[in-house]
Amino acid sequence: SNQEVKQAVQTNSDALVRPHSPVFGNPAAKVTIVEFFDPSCETCRAFYPIVKRMVNASFGQVRLVLRYAPLHQGSDTAVKILEAARQQGKYWEALERAMATQPQWAAHDRPQPEMLWDFIGDIGLDMVKAKADAKGPAIEQLLRQDVADMQALKVDRTPGFFVNGTPLREFGEAQLKALVEQEIKKAGAP
């Protein structure tokens, strides 16, 4: 329920943003959209350009923090591949490619997240290092932390949005934009 989620946020406010979380937009923005995101989720894929446009159109007032919620089969592997790319400074390029090719690698009846390696093979990664990093303990720990935070915050579907700690109650593009605008006004941003 709504009240349970609000209570979970108050009790676990540090679970919203972690130092390891990827940030898109102005790191010092007054408004933070936290998205619990599953790279295999079709709705996450549909919302990705929408949220990115909101951040880009905010004149530095809004930032996006991505957290992982690997609810679909194979998503944990996809997350590890994205994080391996991030360790080489290629996170957003890899994410763009993953979103563009999602219908090919993330079919829910037969997910093949390992195909992502082929789709990001030309973005300038040291592939040997990336494949080793993807299997490493640092990325495994990061993924476990995000899953623990997702559970603590009672996120049970993706995408799960919080704007400055306020959970998005009714899911939808208009609702998300309204919540972001409300938080921009609250933050006193012009």
- Predicted confidence (pLDDT) per residue in 146-189, tens digit: 999 999 998 999 999 999 999 998 899 999 999 999 999 998 85
Residue 71 in this model has a pLDDT that exceeds 90 = yes
Mean pLDDT calculated for residue range 85-108: 96
* DSSP annotation string for the chain: -HHHHHHHHHHTGGGT--TTS-EEE-TT-SEEEEEEE-TT-HHHHHHHHHHHHHHHTTTTSEEEEEEE---STTHHHHHHHHHHHHTTT-HHHHHHHHHHHHHHH--TTS--GGGHHHHTTTSS--HHHHHHHHTSHHHHHHHHHHHHHHHHTT--SSSEEEETTEE-SS-SHHHHHHHHHHHHHHTT--
Question: Between 78 and 10, where is the model more confident?
Answer: 78
Residue 13 in this model has a pLDDT that exceeds 90 = no
What is the pLDDT at residue 189? 53
Residue 117 in this model has a pLDDT that exceeds 60 = yes
Q: Would you say the pTM of this structure is higher than 0.85? A: yes
* Percent of the chain surpassing pLDDT 90: 84
* Percent of the chain surpassing pLDDT 70: 98
